[in-house]
């Protein structure tokens, strides 16, 4: 018992350490990659390849004045950024990084992930509301509607995988992909899940709660210093979480040819999806808020239902010959 | 001119022989003085009843005539003059109507009921001259701060801060200024709530990433739907017109560069065409072609900025970087030829500053080879992008009739299907010798405005190519005594020529008395300088008619019923520059 507690503590510590570093590193990765695609240099002065910009950014955020607008609801204003960080980090609890490297191998893993990502919407709503700023309020309203709607398609898209494997446990789902990664039988589900994932993390083209050309910075207009930093890190962790889930559910998790350890395979795949997120940001304009909702309810919802029905029918036929 | 004679005959047969006083001007626009009592009736007749009417209120401005040197002028004696410029698309003809006013703070009837776009013009005259318009729905300051004392374009108002005494902000004044900044929707005829909802008033600007400068738009919102919008302008007002009365004819050129600050030397051209009309200078062929070439380079540069920022307004992050690096290529050519980049200040009265440098052909050819490929790439990146289309197709629609009513010109007018380009229809600086097309749209929405501008860049390339192939040899300055700086070879003959040269350089040229207006197709629409000279070393009055001013005025009309996100599409597609609005 003693040993297993320390084992878990090690995993939790390791995962937390890795994640926070990855999220911070992603700031650099994103800026460099955007720069690469946009014919410019990006941060390249501090340290080798500009890597220390992460350190500089973090230090800057720590030393900035921790300002709370006088008309804001102080308690909620402070809690909101913490919520996003906590819920996203909790979402990682169920992600199996490699065989045995998972914080809690829950048998309701998928449901836990969905619950945590839904909770993330609170941080946007509360943050936008507590700021007492019209831009923040508009951003928060948009964000709430967007996240709650896309939650639905995300959940429905996942159900295809659940039907195929008969479990909510993520490790079992990965093991079930030994012969065939699920993105082949569940291509539609994968696409919908990915799109909903972009909307969940409110990244371009679905960065409507922020949409800096209209709403300045949307729900976090009033945030500065480390509170802003938490939203910032939360966003990158969100990207990582969605990428992890895509890889786990549709791209065989840690599975891969034997010449690399499972953890490496997982990391490589996740990094590929993170890059896709960044490339999306570099290339697409943003739709209007009502267009986004229409797209969700009129296209993604029927599609994810069709996907679910077809999968269910196939599973049914295979089980009863 | 015959058409002027016909028009005058038509007007005289309707209103009687003695109603109008004809004035001859250097620009051959029919100029008539009309009595204030009949003004509205005459204007209505010209807009609605006359065959081939004048539906377009091109410009409306005023002059403070009280200190004008009349020895050199044959104009009726007045204290203030209101000048209406009307334009008829059917006749391709301007008419200038003047009303003389007397007294310190005169007033006259407003014509806002006749033309929607008269609203801001009349407010501007009230703001800058203190002339009141009776029946105006909202006669308040527009360019100057609300608390400003005096009316800057009146001759007694100082032009320099040093003439105004030191600035002090004591407590009461600060309170007054702060009070004036408060937005009271009732003043604008806006309700705070309707039967079923409270409206939200949202300030877009003066500091906002989507306004491209210091512009404030107050939105009345029902949820995210725009009920009404009030643009507040004037943050960028630098008194360009007032400076024109202080600077010499020559030293005013750099100021014009900064009016439409993306248009560069194209502003010089609009100003100089008017000056050269006044001075009677005919510029050599080479000058014309050089000027056209540089103007088209700046048209491309300006459209590139618009293209990139428009995409960015819609959330597309990358195009702006590509387009700014292409603009850099334009500036490489501009810099090699002019020395400057954004504001080269390169055209001169009677010519250009210097001849083209050695090897300019290679540079221009290099750009002509490079750019079309990039444009093609942008088509697939931006114009064909379905999200871009979703944000722009069917947004911010207005018809050609509405556009004319509101004084819209340029690409925004052509996007409504109106085939009108002043380079084609009223050619200047030798545009008649060039072979190019005028792209038009059909639907008058944001997407068509984008299409027209992109097509215009291709046409500009064609024009530049023709300049490159057919650049005439010859002098780069007109051989005329008023050419500035004066041509050196005429000096050093004897003491007289030396004195003339010295005076022309130190004081600047004396432009003969008279008035003239230019009209060019600038990057954003029709741009005009209406210059009045009373035979001095500087202008008596410089009136700058800019395209962005009426475009911005139309904003409330075309945004009602759309959402906040659409407002950004509409603003982006409008292609305005704050300095061009506020001057």
Please report residues of B whose CB lies closer than 8 A to that of A285: 311, 314-316, 385, 387-388, 391
A274-A276-A280 Cα angle (round to 5): 120
A48: which 2 tokens? 């080798």
Contact B35, B11 (CB under 8 A): no
Using omega within 30 degrees of 0 as the cis cutoff, is the peptide bond preceding B389 cis? Answer: no
Q: Do B316 and A207 touch (CB under 8 A)?
A: no
How does pLDDT run across B87-135, given as a tens digit for each residue?
998 888 899 999 988 888 898 888 888 888 898 999 999 999 989 988 8
Burial of residue B140 (number of CB atoms within 10 Å: 0-12, 13-18, 19+): exposed
CA dihedral B474, B478, B484, B487 (to 10 degrees): 70
Contact criterion met (CB below 8 Å) for B107 and B75 = no
Q: Which chain B residue has the Cα nearest residue A205?
A: B315
Q: Please tell me the distance from the alpha carbon of residue B104 to that of residue B564, in angstroms, as a whole number.
A: 44
Question: Of A23, A24, A31, whose CA–CA distance to A49 is shortest?
Answer: A31
pLDDT at A235 over 90: no
pLDDT at site B187: 74
Chain-wide mean pLDDT for chain B? 87
Nearest-CA neighbor of B149 among B165, B171, B135, B133? B165
| Subunit contact B321:A40, Cβ cutoff 8 A | yes
Question: Chain A residues with CB inside 8 Å of B315's CB?
Answer: 204-205, 207, 211, 213, 284-286
Of B312, B316, B564, the CB nearest to A284: B316
pLDDT tens per residue, range B319-353: 889 999 999 999 999 999 988 888 888 998 888 88
Q: Percent of chain B having pLDDT more than 70?
A: 99
pLDDT digits (tens, 9 = 90+) for B148-182: 888 999 888 888 888 888 888 889 888 988 888 88
> Per-domain residue ranges for chain B?
2-152, 240-582
What pLDDT is stored for residue A65 in this prediction? 82
pLDDT digits 0-9 by tens, B232-251: 888 889 888 998 888 889 89
Is the Cβ of A225 closer than 8 Å to some Cβ of chain B? Answer: no
- The residue among B434, B439, B431, B433 whose CA lies nearest residue B458 is B439
- The SS3 assignment for A220 reads helix
Give A-chain residues touching B564 at CB under 8 angstroms: 138, 214-215
Instruction: Determine the Cα–Cα distance for residues B393 and B406; give it in Å rounded to an integer.
Output: 22
Shortest Cα distance from B453 to chain A (angstroms)?
Answer: 19
Whole-model pTM? 0.87
Which residue in this structure is represented by tokens 């293209």?
A: B307
pLDDT score for B71: 66
The residue among A142, A295, A130, A285 whose CA lies nearest residue B563 is: A142
Parallel, antiparallel or unpaired: strands B132-134 and B347-348: unpaired
Cis peptide before B206 (omega within 30 of 0): yes
pLDDT at A76 over 50: yes
Contact A84, A120 (CB under 8 A): yes
A-chain residues within 8 Å CB-CB of B317?
A: 34, 38, 204, 281-282
Distance from the Cα of residue B34 to its chain's centroid: 26
Which residue does chain B place closest to A133, by CA atoms? B202
- What residues contact residue A3 under an 8 Å CB cut-off, 6+ apart? none
* pLDDT, tens digit (0-9, with 9 covering 90-100), for A138-180: 888 888 888 888 888 888 888 888 888 888 888 888 888 888 8
Q: Which two tokens stand for residue B323?
A: 């387009």
pLDDT of A118 strictly over 90: no
Partners of B321 on chain A (C-beta within 8 Å) are: 38-40
Specify if A4 maps to a domain.
no
**Contact list, B322 vs chain A (CB under 8 Å):** 38-39
Per DSSP, A126 falls in state H
Number of helices (H) and strands (E) in chain B: give both, helices first.
20, 16
Mean pLDDT (whole number) for A266-270: 88
Secondary structure letter of residue A101 according to DSSP: B
Quick one: pLDDT band at residue A188, thresholds 50, 70, 90? confident
Q: Is the pLDDT of residue A183 over 90?
A: no
Return d(Cα B99, Cα B332) in angstroms, integer. 48
Nearest to B322 among A39, A134, A286 (CB): A39
Which chain A residues are within 8 Å of B566, Cβ to Cβ? 288
Residue B73, pLDDT score: 60
In percent, how much of chain A has pLDDT > 90?
1
Measured between CB atoms, does A34 come within 8 Å of chain B? yes
CB contact at 8 A, B285 and B472: yes
Put simply, the answer to whether B316 touches A285 (Cβ < 8 Å) is: yes
Position B79 scores a pLDDT of 86
Which residues pair with residue B563 across a beta bridge?
Answer: B225
B212: closest CA of chain A, how far (Å): 10
Let me know if residue A47 belongs to a domain: no
Quick one: pLDDT band at residue B297, thresholds 50, 70, 90? very high
What SS3 state is found at B126?
helix
In a mutagenesis test of the A interface, which of B201, B315, B383, B569 is the best target, namely the one with the most A β-carbons within 10 Å?
B315
Alpha-carbon distance B405 to B428, whole Å? 25
pLDDT at residue A1, rounded to an integer:
44
The answer to whether B565 contacts A138, with C-beta atoms less than 8 Å apart, is no
Q: What is the pLDDT of residues A34-43, one digit of tens each?
A: 888 888 888 8
- Hey, are the CB atoms on A289 and B563 less than 8 Å from each other? yes
User: Are the Cβ atoms of A282 and B202 closer than 8 angstroms?
Assistant: no
pLDDT of residue A50 exceeding 90 = no
For the record, the structure tokens of B459 come out as 């046409």
- Structurally, at CATH architecture level, domain B2-152 sits in 2-Layer Sandwich (3.30)
Question: Is A285–B387 a contact, with Cβ atoms under 8 angstroms apart?
Answer: yes
- Within a 13 Å sphere around the CA of B223, how many CA atoms are in the beta-carbon half? 9
The C-alpha R_g of chain B, in whole angstroms, comes to 24
Distance between CA atoms of B362 and B337, rounded to whole angstroms? 12
Cβ neighbours of residue A29 closer than 8 Å, sequence gap 6 or more? A274, A278
Instruction: Give the pLDDT of residue A201.
Output: 83
Q: CA separation (Å) from B75 to A84, B25, B154, B513?
A: 74, 10, 19, 11
Q: Do B388 and A285 touch (CB under 8 A)?
A: yes
Give the residue on A whose Cα is nearest the Cα of B320: A38
Task: Give how far Cα A153 sits from Cα of A114, A293, A304, Å.
Answer: 11, 12, 6
8 Å CB contact of A287 and B387: yes
Residues of B in contact with A281 (CB under 8 A): 317
Backbone angles phi, psi at B81, to 5 degrees: -130, 135
Please count the structural domains in chain A. Answer: 1
Residue of A133, A139, A214, A298 best to disrupt the B interface, most CBs of B under 10 A: A214
Is residue A46 situated within a structural domain?
A: no
Using CA atoms, how far residue A116 sits from A104, A110, A121, A227, B511, in Å, is 14, 10, 9, 20, 77
Q: What is the SS3 string spanning B359-389? A: CHHHHHHHHHHHHHHHHHHHHHHHHCCHHHH
Q: Is the pLDDT of residue B1 over 60?
A: no
Percent of chain B with pLDDT over 90: 20
Q: CATH for B240-582? A: 1.10.645.10
Query: Residue B469: phi, psi to the nearest 5?
Result: -75, -30
A213·B313 Cβ contact <8 A: yes
Residues in B whose CB is inside 8 Å of some CB of A read: 200, 202-203, 208-210, 224, 311-318, 321-322, 325, 381, 385, 387-388, 390-391, 563-568
Facing A286 at nearest CB: one of B202, B209, B315: B315
Concatenated DSSP letters for B517-545? E--EE-SSSEEEEEEEE-SSSB-SEEEEE
For range B6-30, the mean pLDDT: 83
Q: Which residues pair with B62 in a beta bridge?
A: B82
**Dihedral of CA B258/B259/B261/B262: which sign?**
negative
Give residue A3's pLDDT band: very low, low, confident or very high (50, 70, 90): low
Q: Give the pLDDT band of residue B74 (cuts 50, 70, 90).
A: low
pLDDT bucket at B543, cuts 50 / 70 / 90? very high
Instruction: Give chain B positions within 8 Å (CB) of A289.
Output: 224, 563, 565
In angstroms, rounded to a whole number, what is the distance separating the alpha carbons of residues B568 and B571?
A: 5
Spell out which residues of chain A touch residue B314, defining contact as CB-CB under 8 Å.
213, 285-286
Q: A205: domain range?
A: 67-319
The torsion defined by the Cα of A56, A61, A65 and A70, in degrees rounded to 10, comes to: 160
| Cβ atoms < 10 Å from Cβ of B491 | 16
Give the residue from chain B lying closest to A291, CA to CA: B390
Q: Which helix (H) or strand (E) holds B288?
A: helix B285-313
Q: Which residue has the higher pLDDT, A184 or B553?
A: B553
Mutation target to probe the B interface, by most B beta carbons within 10 A, among A31, A212, A213 is A213
- With CB atoms and an 8 Å threshold, state whether B317 touches A282: yes
At residue A120, does pLDDT exceed 70?
A: yes
- Would you give the DSSP letter of residue B21? E
Q: CB atoms < 10 A from the CB of B510, how many?
A: 18
pLDDT score for B299: 92
Nearest-Cα residue of chain B relative to residue A285: B316
Say which DSSP state B489 is in.
Answer: G
Q: How far is A117 from chain B (nearest CA, A)?
A: 25
Q: φ, ψ for residue B351 (rounded to 5)?
A: 170, -150
pLDDT confidence tier of residue B50, bands split at 50, 70 and 90: confident
| Helix or strand run (H / E) with residue B128 | helix B118-129
To the nearest whole angstrom, how far is the Cα of B314 from the nearest Cα of chain A? 6
Please tell me the predicted confidence (pLDDT) of residue B300. 93
- pLDDT beyond 90 at B313: no
Which residues of chain A neighbour B563 with C-beta distances below 8 Å?
Answer: 288-290
């Amino acid at each position: 018992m003693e040993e297993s507690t320390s084992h878990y503590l090690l995993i939790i510590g390791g995962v937390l350490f890795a994640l926070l570093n990855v999220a911070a590193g992603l700031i650099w990765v994103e800026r460099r990659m955007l720069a690469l695609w946009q014919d410019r240099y990006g941060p390249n002065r501090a340290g080798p390849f500009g890597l220390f910009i992460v350190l500089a950014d973090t230090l800057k955020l720590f030393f900035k004045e921790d300002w709370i607008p006088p008309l804001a609801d102080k308690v909620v204003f402070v809690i909101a950024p913490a919520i996003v960080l906590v819920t996203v980090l909790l979402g990682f609890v169920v992600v199996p990084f490699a065989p045995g490297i998972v914080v809690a191998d829950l048998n309701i893993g998928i449901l836990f992930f969905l619950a945590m990502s839904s909770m993330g919407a609170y941080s946007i709503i509360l943050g936008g509301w507590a700021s007492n700023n019209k831009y923040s309020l508009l951003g928060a309203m948009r964000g709430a509607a967007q996240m709650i709607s896309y939650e639905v398609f995300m959940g429905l898209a996942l159900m295809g995988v659940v039907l195929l494997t008969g479990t909510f446990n993520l490790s079992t789902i990965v093991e079930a992909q030994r012969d065939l990664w699920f993105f082949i039988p569940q291509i539609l589900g994968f696409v919908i899940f990915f799109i909903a994932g972009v909307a969940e993390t409110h990244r371009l083209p679905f960065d409507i709660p922020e949409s800096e050309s209209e709403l300045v910075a949307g729900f976090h207009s009033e945030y500065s210093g480390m509170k802003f930093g938490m939203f910032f890190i939360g966003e990158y962790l969100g990207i990582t979480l969605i990428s992890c889930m895509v890889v786990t559910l549709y791209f065989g998790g840690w599975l891969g040819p034997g010449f690399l350890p499972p953890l490496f395979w997982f990391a490589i795949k996740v990094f590929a999806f993170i890059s896709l997120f960044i490339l999306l940001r570099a290339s697409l304009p943003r739709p209007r808020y009502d267009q986004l909702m229409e797209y969700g309810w009129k296209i993604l919802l029927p599609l994810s239902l069709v996907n679910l029905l077809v999968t269910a029918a196939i599973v049914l036929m295979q089980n009863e010959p | 001119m015959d058409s002027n004679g016909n028009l005058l005959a038509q007007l005289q047969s309707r209103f009687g022989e003695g109603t109008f006083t004809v004035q001859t001007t250097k620009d051959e626009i029919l100029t008539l003085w009309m009595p204030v009592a009949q003004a509205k009736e005459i204007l209505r007749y010209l807009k609605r009843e006359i065959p081939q009417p004048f539906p377009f209120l091109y410009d409306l401005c005023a002059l403070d005539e009280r200190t004008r040197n009349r020895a050199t002028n044959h104009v009726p004696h007045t204290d203030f003059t209101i000048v209406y410029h009307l334009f008829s698309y059917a006749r391709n003809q301007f008419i200038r109507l003047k009303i003389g006013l007397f007294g310190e703070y005169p007033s006259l009837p407003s014509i806002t009921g006749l033309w929607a776009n008269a609203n801001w013009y009349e407010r501007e005259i009230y703001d800058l001259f203190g002339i009141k318009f009776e029946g105006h729905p909202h006669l308040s300051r527009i360019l100057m701060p609300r608390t400003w004392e005096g009316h800057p374009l009146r001759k007694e108002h100082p032009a320099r801060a040093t003439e105004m005494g030191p600035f002090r902000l004591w407590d009461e004044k600060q309170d007054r200024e702060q009070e004036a900044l408060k937005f009271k929707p009732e003043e604008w005829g806006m309700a705070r709530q309707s039967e079923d909802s409270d409206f939200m008033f949202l300030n877009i600007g003066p500091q906002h990433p989507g306004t491209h400068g210091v512009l404030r738009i107050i939105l009345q919102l029902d949820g995210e739907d725009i009920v009404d919008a009030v643009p507040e302008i004037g943050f960028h007002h630098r008194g360009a017109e007032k400076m024109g009365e202080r600077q010499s004819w020559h030293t005013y050129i750099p100021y014009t560069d900064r009016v439409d600050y993306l248009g560069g030397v194209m502003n010089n051209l609009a100003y100089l065409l008017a000056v050269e009309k006044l001075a009677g200078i005919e510029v050599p062929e080479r000058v014309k072609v050089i000027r056209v070439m540089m103007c088209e380079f700046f048209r491309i540069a300006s459209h590139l900025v618009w293209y990139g920022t428009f995409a960015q307004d819609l959330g597309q992050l990358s195009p702006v970087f590509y387009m700014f690096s292409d603009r850099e290529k334009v500036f490489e050519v501009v810099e090699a030829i002019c020395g400057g980049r954004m504001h080269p200040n390169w055209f001169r009265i009677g010519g250009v500053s210097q001849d083209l440098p050695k090897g300019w052909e290679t540079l221009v050819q290099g750009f002509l080879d490079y750019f079309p490929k990039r444009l093609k790439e942008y088509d697939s990146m931006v114009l064909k992008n379905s999200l871009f289309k979703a944000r722009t197709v069917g947004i911010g629609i207005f018809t050609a009739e509405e556009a004319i009513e509101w004084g819209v010109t340029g690409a925004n007018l052509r996007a409504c299907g109106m085939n009108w380009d002043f380079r084609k229809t009223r050619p200047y600086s030798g545009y008649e010798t060039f072979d190019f097309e005028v792209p038009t749209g059909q639907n008058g929405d944001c997407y068509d405005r984008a299409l027209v501008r992109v097509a215009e860049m291709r046409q500009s390339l064609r024009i530049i190519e023709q300049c490159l192939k057919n650049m005439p040899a010859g002098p780069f300055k007109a051989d005329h005594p008023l050419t500035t700086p004066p041509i050196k070879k005429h000096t050093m003959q004897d003491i007289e020529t030396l004195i003339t040269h010295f005076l022309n350089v130190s004081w600047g040229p004396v432009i003969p008395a008279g008035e003239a207006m230019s009209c060019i197709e600038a990057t954003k629409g029709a741009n005009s300088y209406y210059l009045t000279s009373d035979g001095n070393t500087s202008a008596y009055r410089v009136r700058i008619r800019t395209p962005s001013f009426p475009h911005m005025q139309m904003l409330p009309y075309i945004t009602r019923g759309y959402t906040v996100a659409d407002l950004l599409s509409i603003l982006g597609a409008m292609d305005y520059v704050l300095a061009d609005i506020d001057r």
